[in-house]
Structure 1
Amino acid sequence: MLKATIVFMLLATVASLFSGLFFLVKDDASSTRLLKALTVRVICAAVTLALIAFGYFSGQLVWHPPW
Protein backbone atom coordinates (compact mmCIF):
# COMPACT_ATOMS: atom_id res chain seq x y z
CA MET A 1 0.00 0.00 0.00
CA LEU A 2 2.85 2.39 0.80
CA LYS A 3 4.59 1.75 -2.50
CA ALA A 4 1.38 2.43 -4.41
CA THR A 5 0.92 5.69 -2.53
CA ILE A 6 4.49 6.73 -3.37
CA VAL A 7 3.96 5.94 -7.06
CA PHE A 8 0.68 7.89 -7.02
CA MET A 9 2.40 10.90 -5.47
CA LEU A 10 5.17 10.75 -8.09
CA LEU A 11 2.56 10.69 -10.85
CA ALA A 12 0.77 13.64 -9.24
CA THR A 13 4.08 15.52 -9.16
CA VAL A 14 4.68 14.88 -12.86
CA ALA A 15 1.09 15.90 -13.71
CA SER A 16 1.54 19.13 -11.78
CA LEU A 17 4.83 19.73 -13.58
CA PHE A 18 3.20 19.47 -16.99
CA SER A 19 0.18 21.54 -15.98
CA GLY A 20 2.60 24.26 -14.83
CA LEU A 21 4.35 24.08 -18.19
CA PHE A 22 1.01 24.43 -19.96
CA PHE A 23 0.03 27.43 -17.82
CA LEU A 24 3.44 29.03 -18.44
CA VAL A 25 2.97 28.81 -22.19
CA LYS A 26 -0.75 29.56 -22.54
CA ASP A 27 -1.73 31.98 -19.74
CA ASP A 28 -1.28 35.72 -19.63
CA ALA A 29 0.98 37.49 -17.13
CA SER A 30 -1.75 38.24 -14.57
CA SER A 31 -2.79 34.61 -14.06
CA THR A 32 -1.88 32.83 -10.82
CA ARG A 33 -2.45 29.29 -12.09
CA LEU A 34 1.29 28.77 -12.64
CA LEU A 35 2.00 29.68 -9.02
CA LYS A 36 -0.70 27.29 -7.81
CA ALA A 37 0.70 24.47 -9.97
CA LEU A 38 4.18 25.11 -8.56
CA THR A 39 2.79 25.04 -5.01
CA VAL A 40 1.03 21.73 -5.65
CA ARG A 41 4.20 20.27 -7.14
CA VAL A 42 6.34 21.28 -4.17
CA ILE A 43 3.78 19.88 -1.72
CA CYS A 44 3.58 16.59 -3.67
CA ALA A 45 7.37 16.29 -3.69
CA ALA A 46 7.57 16.97 0.05
CA VAL A 47 4.88 14.39 0.81
CA THR A 48 6.67 11.87 -1.42
CA LEU A 49 9.94 12.39 0.43
CA ALA A 50 8.16 12.11 3.78
CA LEU A 51 6.51 8.84 2.69
CA ILE A 52 9.85 7.42 1.56
CA ALA A 53 11.49 8.39 4.85
CA PHE A 54 8.58 6.92 6.83
CA GLY A 55 8.74 3.69 4.83
CA TYR A 56 12.48 3.38 5.32
CA PHE A 57 12.46 4.03 9.06
CA SER A 58 9.42 1.84 9.69
CA GLY A 59 10.99 -1.07 7.78
CA GLN A 60 8.40 -1.23 5.01
CA LEU A 61 10.97 -0.08 2.43
CA VAL A 62 14.34 -1.81 2.56
CA TRP A 63 17.66 -0.76 1.10
CA HIS A 64 19.31 -4.15 0.44
CA PRO A 65 18.84 -6.00 -2.86
CA PRO A 66 16.34 -8.89 -2.84
CA TRP A 67 18.80 -11.57 -4.03
Structure 2
Amino acid sequence: MRSERRPLSPDTSEFARARVSAELGLRHQRDQAARTVAGRARDVDDLRGLLAMLGLEAGARG
Protein backbone atom coordinates (compact mmCIF):
# COMPACT_ATOMS: atom_id res chain seq x y z
CA MET A 1 0.00 0.00 0.00
CA ARG A 2 1.36 3.39 -0.96
CA SER A 3 1.38 6.31 1.45
CA GLU A 4 -0.06 9.47 -0.02
CA ARG A 5 0.73 12.92 1.25
CA ARG A 6 -2.28 14.99 2.12
CA PRO A 7 -2.31 18.70 2.87
CA LEU A 8 -2.40 19.57 6.53
CA SER A 9 -5.79 20.48 7.83
CA PRO A 10 -6.10 23.56 10.05
CA ASP A 11 -6.48 21.26 13.09
CA THR A 12 -3.39 19.26 12.18
CA SER A 13 -1.26 22.31 11.57
CA GLU A 14 -2.45 23.85 14.85
CA PHE A 15 -1.46 20.64 16.64
CA ALA A 16 1.95 20.70 14.92
CA ARG A 17 2.51 24.32 15.97
CA ALA A 18 1.49 23.53 19.56
CA ARG A 19 3.84 20.55 19.64
CA VAL A 20 6.79 22.59 18.37
CA SER A 21 6.00 25.32 20.87
CA ALA A 22 5.90 22.80 23.73
CA GLU A 23 9.21 21.25 22.64
CA LEU A 24 10.88 24.66 22.49
CA GLY A 25 9.51 25.51 25.93
CA LEU A 26 10.84 22.26 27.37
CA ARG A 27 14.26 22.86 25.80
CA HIS A 28 14.34 26.34 27.33
CA GLN A 29 13.42 24.99 30.77
CA ARG A 30 16.08 22.27 30.58
CA ASP A 31 18.73 24.79 29.47
CA GLN A 32 17.75 27.13 32.28
CA ALA A 33 17.86 24.30 34.84
CA ALA A 34 21.30 23.21 33.63
CA ARG A 35 22.61 26.79 33.89
CA THR A 36 21.19 27.14 37.40
CA VAL A 37 22.78 23.86 38.49
CA ALA A 38 26.10 24.88 36.92
CA GLY A 39 26.03 28.13 38.87
CA ARG A 40 25.41 26.35 42.17
CA ALA A 41 27.69 23.32 41.80
CA ARG A 42 30.79 23.18 44.01
CA ASP A 43 32.98 21.42 41.45
CA VAL A 44 32.82 19.31 38.29
CA ASP A 45 31.88 16.12 40.14
CA ASP A 46 29.09 17.92 41.97
CA LEU A 47 27.85 19.36 38.66
CA ARG A 48 27.82 15.95 36.97
CA GLY A 49 25.99 14.36 39.88
CA LEU A 50 23.35 17.07 40.08
CA LEU A 51 22.76 17.03 36.32
CA ALA A 52 22.43 13.23 36.39
CA MET A 53 19.88 13.45 39.22
CA LEU A 54 17.81 15.84 37.11
CA GLY A 55 18.19 13.79 33.94
CA LEU A 56 20.14 16.59 32.27
CA GLU A 57 23.44 16.52 30.41
CA ALA A 58 26.19 19.10 30.46
CA GLY A 59 26.36 21.00 27.20
CA ALA A 60 23.48 19.06 25.63
CA ARG A 61 21.36 20.80 23.06
CA GLY A 62 18.24 19.34 21.66
- The percentage of aligned residue pairs carrying the same residue is 5
Q: 2:31 aligns with which of 9, 17, 40?
A: 17
Structure 2: segments with no counterpart, 5+ residues: 1-14
Counterpart-to-counterpart distance in 2, 1:12 and 1:4: 12
- Higher relative contact order (CA closer than 8 Å, sequence separation 6+): 1
Aligned-pair Cα RMSD in Å = 2.2
Please list every run of at least 4 consecutive aligned residues from structure 1 whose deviation after the TM superposition is greater than 2 angstroms. Answer: 36-39
Give a deviation string over 1:23-66, Cα, whole Å, max 9, x none: 101122213217x5236x52xx3xxxxxxxxxxxxxxxxxxxxx
Counting matched residue pairs gives: 41
Higher alpha-carbon Rg: 2
Structure 1: segments with no counterpart, 5+ residues: 46-67
Asked if structure 2 preserves the Cα contact closer than 8 Å seen for 1:17 and 1:38, the reply is no
Larger relative helix fraction: 1
Equivalence for 1:5: 19
